[in-house]
């Protein structure tokens, strides 16, 4: 048996005393860390599993949309919103379902799907949903509701589109001065996006869009 010298024995006594005082805390911390790691790994596994399931449902939805199977499309969209609402597939599914509903003349369903994405979607999908919802509301002559949707601050890439949509709604209300100001604002937003690099990547598409905005603004002349 090894024989400890006095210094080693003192060190052992210090360790024993320290462990007696703090051992339970250290054990709790280590246990919490282990649980945290296991939980994180479990969460990653869960998210991966959810993504695979959501992708499968979205695949069914896309097939139903291409085949014009409205009932199957609605069922798949409903499943995405109910069971996979945190997934990006839920927003994509709602946008697809909204387009199918609009094409079928079911504006009520189209608005509900678009409103869900506008409230729950992320980034570009949220802005895209708002623009499509505004188009539906404009078609219904629900001008005030359409303008309310455009109050939200969009991503820089969508700023010009939001300003243009605002101009379209104001023009429909026969507010020509305000409409021209909105179209001019859209032109300014488009130019700013081009300078900052947040605009359209296709220069020809951006130029064509700018021409459309310019024509809308010029058509109003000296609006009063």
Cα dist from 53 to 41, 64, 71, whole Å: 19, 17, 20
What average pLDDT does the chain have?
80
What would the mean pLDDT of 168-179 be, rounded to a whole number? Answer: 95
Report the alpha-carbon distance of residue 161 to residue 152 in Å, rounded.
13
Q: What whole-number distance in Å separates Cα of residue 121 and Cα of residue 89? A: 10
Q: Is the pLDDT of residue 35 over 70?
A: no
Q: What is the pTM of this model?
A: 0.71
| Alpha helices for the chain (secondary structure H) | 6-67, 70-83, 88-103, 107-120, 123-139, 143-149, 159-172, 176-196, 203-219
Six-digit token string for 200: 């359209």
**With contact defined as beta carbons under 8 Å apart, do 93 and 77 qualify?**
yes
Q: Convert the pLDDT of each residue in 188-203 to its tens digit.
A: 999 888 887 766 567 7
144 compared with 204, residue with greater pLDDT: 144
φ, ψ dihedrals at 116, nearest 5°? -65, -45
Q: Which two tokens stand for residue 32?
A: 């919490």
How many CB atoms sit inside 10 A of residue 149's CB? 22
- pLDDT tens digits, 79-130: 888 888 888 888 888 988 888 888 888 899 899 999 999 999 888 999 999 9
Do residues 76 and 93 touch, judged by C-beta distance below 8 A? Answer: yes
Using alpha carbons, list the distances in angstroms from residue 114 to 41, 124, 157, 170, 186.
34, 13, 20, 21, 23
Of 47-56, 70-79, 141-150, 205-214, which one has max mean pLDDT? 141-150
Distance CA 97, CA 146 (A): 20
Q: For the chain, how many residues are written?
A: 224
């Amino acid at each position: 048996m090894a024989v400890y010298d006095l210094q080693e024995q003192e060190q052992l006594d210090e360790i024993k005393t320290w462990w007696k005082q703090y051992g339970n805390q250290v054990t709790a911390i280590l246990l919490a860390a282990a649980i945290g790691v296991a939980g994180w790994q479990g969460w990653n596994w869960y998210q991966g599993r959810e993504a695979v399931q959501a992708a499968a449902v979205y695949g069914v939805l896309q097939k139903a949309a291409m085949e014009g199977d409205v009932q199957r499309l609605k069922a798949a969209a409903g499943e995405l919103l109910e069971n996979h609402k945190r997934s990006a597939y839920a927003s994509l599914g709602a946008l697809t379902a909204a387009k199918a509903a609009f094409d079928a003349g079911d504006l009520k369903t189209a608005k509900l799907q678009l409103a869900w994405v506008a409230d729950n979607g992320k980034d570009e999908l949220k802005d895209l949903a708002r623009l499509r919802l505004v188009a539906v509301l404009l078609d219904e002559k629900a001008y005030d509701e359409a303008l309310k949707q455009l109050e939200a601050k969009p991503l820089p890439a969508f700023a010009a589109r939001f300003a243009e949509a605002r101009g379209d709604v104001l023009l429909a209300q026969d507010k020509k001065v305000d409409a021209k100001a909105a179209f001019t604002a859209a032109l300014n937003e488009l130019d700013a996006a081009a300078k900052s690099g947040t605009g359209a990547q296709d220069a020809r598409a951006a130029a064509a869009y700018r021409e459309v905005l310019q024509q809308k603004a010029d058509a109003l002349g000296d609006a009063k």
